[in-house]
Structure 1
């Protein structure tokens, strides 16, 4: 448990000072979101294995705790530090063409949790993993106040009604765009995390063999794939059996054309069951496991072990 506490404390100490908030290009936005960012890091300390994130990495991700749509390049434990990428182009420059696994975390929606989840997956396959931060922006204020991190299946739809707030904030205050250049931003109310997943999956420079999410991250993946259906020319270029989709702790419907799907959930995970699409069978139930993946806590879902078993049992390869 000490490793979790140390990583969380390091990240919290690395947060922006009030001076830096007021010196930023969007001081009102930053100040409004700051308390939620800190809270989400605490949530991720409960739900994710953040003890696997080094102190240096925790400090590196601290200013990015809620930067929705950011890409993290996360190597296995002991194989070097993670890298932060603002855009698809940054990801390509950092070696994205060689990355075969895409991961999206949820619940607290911070870079700290995303890094921890990706590291668990990276440790199972001994390769680098790309993680999209599922984020926290102005559009989330209302839904988070209503408990959006918990009722993500229902309130996420409400969240999209306010995505324009984030777009307006960036247009007024940031000359550079956080939306990837290949993202179909004309689709309207599509969140930044969903746009980024769409861009990565549809970009011909990248070739993912496994796409995985935990909790709300599965909803982001589902939304990205369903939005791509609205762009047939792009979607048809993605073979239905190109990559495995593994959902952890929430079984969310995916477009039928994607056939290599495995849903994993703990047998006492009422949280995940509540937010799952009705009627989807759980192919790999884990006895006496709850929603969290933090190995410092009892009844955790052991992400690394899950993928090691899937490699052996289902031939999930990259």
Structure 2
């Protein structure tokens, strides 16, 4: 070896560690998420009008189920009668759409419920409801967002109340349940949007850095709206709604309950002013800060401690005697259908005849003046 030459390095090159070997199998994670979703389904029966939804559809020959029906699906392949029976069942279980879905509800036209598991497909095809019994497409101009951890059952029930009252199709966003949602859900999720969003965002970012494949579980719908950032964001429902509002100019009305109202606030605050001026935002059970030029109508129950806590001092336009639930089968709940009707009627233009007004003022002054 020549003088001054560098000695060869025979030490082994350290291999890049394969961290995928340490990840939890996806097959073990999905049943855990389904179990948590089933818990949310039970909570929906308390906070949303699921009883009325089931009753309304049952009178139309449709059964709402929250359990998988493999036997029915198998028998449907055997004969036509079973296939027709299977077509009359709407599955709103956690297993049916664990990755999130957009439900388009029309309470007055069959098939009553249409589902989309892709935001882009919804923007292309789902901005109108297509009745199965004739008639042209009905444009979707309304979106609803429900509270913490709501499953497809609660989202459909809340959207049904709005659709039945306004006689228009309504799109309900069900964002999906990711592994990072377990932490804020276990804490209860009702600490205001800021704390809830922070807890979910931090846990999602930690999960994304340590297990990329697991971070994708439950985030399919959000990923079709904003791509890979859906696996790091703390509020997928806000991201989905923001993307829809940005691209669908026909959406005019937004209805949110509980944390759904806070998701609406987060989604509209960065929209252009010319877009927000055409929006009407109605909230139930949570008063958000009116940061945009949208038309706001916010309703709060006077015995709704949970909603008042989440409102952070914001004051509603209307106080009603009620608590946090919208289930019409329970006492002192928020009658969403009636409140929505009053809200729309209050927006009707008022025409005033100057002659009638002048005569009324003269008559009023004549009564007030002494003789």
Band of TM-score, shorter chain: 0.7 to 0.9
Q: Deviations over 1:29-54 (max 9, x none)?
A: 21221221111101000000012143
Give the number of equivalent residue pairs.
279
Cα pair 1:99 1:130 within 8 Å, conserved: yes
Cα pair 1:139 1:163 within 8 Å, conserved: yes
**Residues of 2 paired with 1:171 and 1:249: CA distance?**
31
Q: Which runs of 5+ in 1 are unaligned?
A: 1-24, 230-234
Question: Which one has more relative contact order, counting CA pairs under 8 Å at least 6 apart?
Answer: 1
**Residues of 2 paired with 1:251 and 1:237: CA distance?**
21
Identify if the C-alpha distance between structure 1 residues 119 and 137 changes in structure 2 by more than 3 Å, giving closer, same or farther.
Answer: same
Matched, 1:310 2:343: yes
**Residues of 1 paired with 2:234 and 2:197: CA distance?**
11
Comparing 36-45 with 164-173, which one deviates more in the overlay? 164-173
**Residues of 2 paired with 1:308 and 1:223: CA distance?**
26
**Residues of 1 paired with 2:258 and 2:160: CA distance?**
16
User: RMSD across aligned C-alpha pairs, in angstroms?
Assistant: 2.8
1:91 Cα deviation (Å)?
A: 1.3
Cα pair 1:57 1:81 within 8 Å, conserved: no
Matched, 1:70 2:101: yes
Given the two structures, how large is their TM-score scaled by the length of structure 1? 0.78
Query: Where does 1:1-318 land on structure 2 (aligned, <5 Å)?
Result: 26-51=26-51, 52-53=53-54, 54=57, 56-58=63-65, 59-63=90-94, 67=98, 69-77=100-108, 79-96=110-127, 98-148=139-189, 150-153=190-193, 154-164=195-205, 165=207, 168-169=212-213, 177-179=220-222, 181-183=224-226, 186=229, 189-204=233-248, 206-226=249-269, 229=270, 235-236=271-272, 238-254=274-290, 256-278=291-313, 280-286=314-320, 288-315=321-348
**Residues of 1 paired with 2:165 and 2:262: CA distance?**
23
1:311 Cα deviation (Å)?
A: 1.5
1:203 Cα deviation (Å)?
A: 0.9
Cα pair 1:104 1:114 within 8 Å, conserved: yes
SS in 2 for 1:102: strand
SS in 1 for 2:328: coil
Q: Which runs of 5+ in 2 are unaligned?
A: 1-24, 66-89, 129-138, 350-371
Cα pair 2:118 2:221 within 8 Å, conserved: yes
Give the equivalent residue in structure 2 for 1:19: none
Given the two structures, how large is their TM-score scaled by the length of structure 2? 0.68
Identify if the C-alpha distance between structure 1 residues 157 and 27 changes in structure 2 by more than 3 Å, giving closer, same or farther.
Answer: same
SS in 1 for 2:338: helix
